[in-house]
Amino acid sequence: MPNQSIFVSDIHLCESRPSITHAFINFLDKIASEYNAIYILGDLFEYWIGDDSKKHTDIINAIKRLTNRHTKVFLMHGNRDFLIGHAFEKKTGATLLKDPTLVEIFDKRVLLSHGDSLCTDDLEYQTYKKEVRKISWQNDFLKKSLNERLLIADQLRKESELKKKNKSNEIMDVNIDAINQLIIQFNYPDLLIHGHTHKPDRHPMDINGYKIERIVLGDWYEQGSYLTFNANGIKTNQI
Ligand code: MN
């Protein structure tokens, strides 16, 4: 079973930045379609207010084109689009993955995560996340009108931008103990791939004598980037 895979995260699709939407659809049609699977590891959208939203139909159609052919699409929630639900899966043919998820690719054990749960120094964010990931919060939110939800999402984004200004880079980055814990919990996978921090890099690690590589995916604010994993190995790519 060939399992050439491609990984992206933090595309942050938003109607106010149509060029990124265009570039991403082009990427799905021309590049991702050559692979057996694409893993979108969170923050595909700048915000997602519910599957009943009428926005981003061009993206939904582009994902559907992939799944209709022979590319499996796996999707993980990010901190911006955690309200993507089963209706979205149905419309696109994509499969939602839990965060974290362990997969096997070319005999490597690959642990996937969005990455926000590793930023444990950002206590304020972790408290906020606990609240908005409650079923009760989500049910209350989804009961509101689309307009009301848009306003709240906008407000939350503005608050988060303001808060970020007062936080150091270290606080918003991943915590190394949280990474070590996760690696041990999953019995030393070969690779950990995540996004969220917008600090694309490859970090070789040695944990208790095990060699592990942590790969951080880049965001799509300035330019597109993606990671490929095929028979030739692992490679980072820019668009
Ligand atoms: Mn994120």
The one-letter amino acid at 133: R
80 CA to middle of ligand 1, Å?
6
DSSP the chain: ----EEEE----B-TT-HHHHHHHHHHHHHTGGGSSEEEE-S-SBS----TT----HHHHHHHHHHHHTT-EEEEE--SS-TT--HHHHHHH--EEE-SSEEEEETTEEEEEE-SGGG-TT-HHHHHHHHHHTSHHHHHHHHHS-HHHHHHHHHHHHHHHHHHHHTS-HHHHSPPHHHHHHHHHHTT--SEEEE-SS---EEEEEEETTEEEEEEEPP-SSSS-EEEEEETTEEEEEE-
Sheet with 5-8: list strands edge to edge. 95-97, 72-76, 37-40, 5-8, 225-230, 233-238
10 CA to middle of ligand 1, Å?
6
pLDDT of residue 196: 96
Report whether 63 contacts 28 (CB < 8 A). yes
pLDDT of residue 173: 93
**pLDDT, tens digit, for every residue of 63-86?**
999 999 999 999 999 999 999 999
pLDDT < 50: residue spans in the chain:
1
42 CA to middle of ligand 1, Å?
7
Q: Domain with 10 in it: what CATH number?
A: 3.60.21.10
pLDDT of residue 2: 62
pLDDT of residue 163: 87
194 CA to middle of ligand 1, Å?
10
Number of domains comprising the chain = 1
pLDDT of residue 103: 97
81 CA to middle of ligand 1, Å?
9
77 CA to middle of ligand 1, Å?
9
117 CA to middle of ligand 1, Å?
10
1 CA to middle of ligand 1, Å?
32
212 CA to middle of ligand 1, Å?
23
Residue 161 belongs to what domain range? Answer: 5-238
pLDDT of residue 164: 87
Q: What contacts 82, CB < 8 A, 6 or more positions away?
A: 48, 132, 133
Q: Find the length of the chain.
A: 239
Token pair 């926000």 in the structure block, residue: 116
109 CA to middle of ligand 1, Å?
23
Mean pLDDT, the chain, as a whole number?
95
pLDDT of residue 165: 87
Chain-centroid distance, C-alpha 180? 20
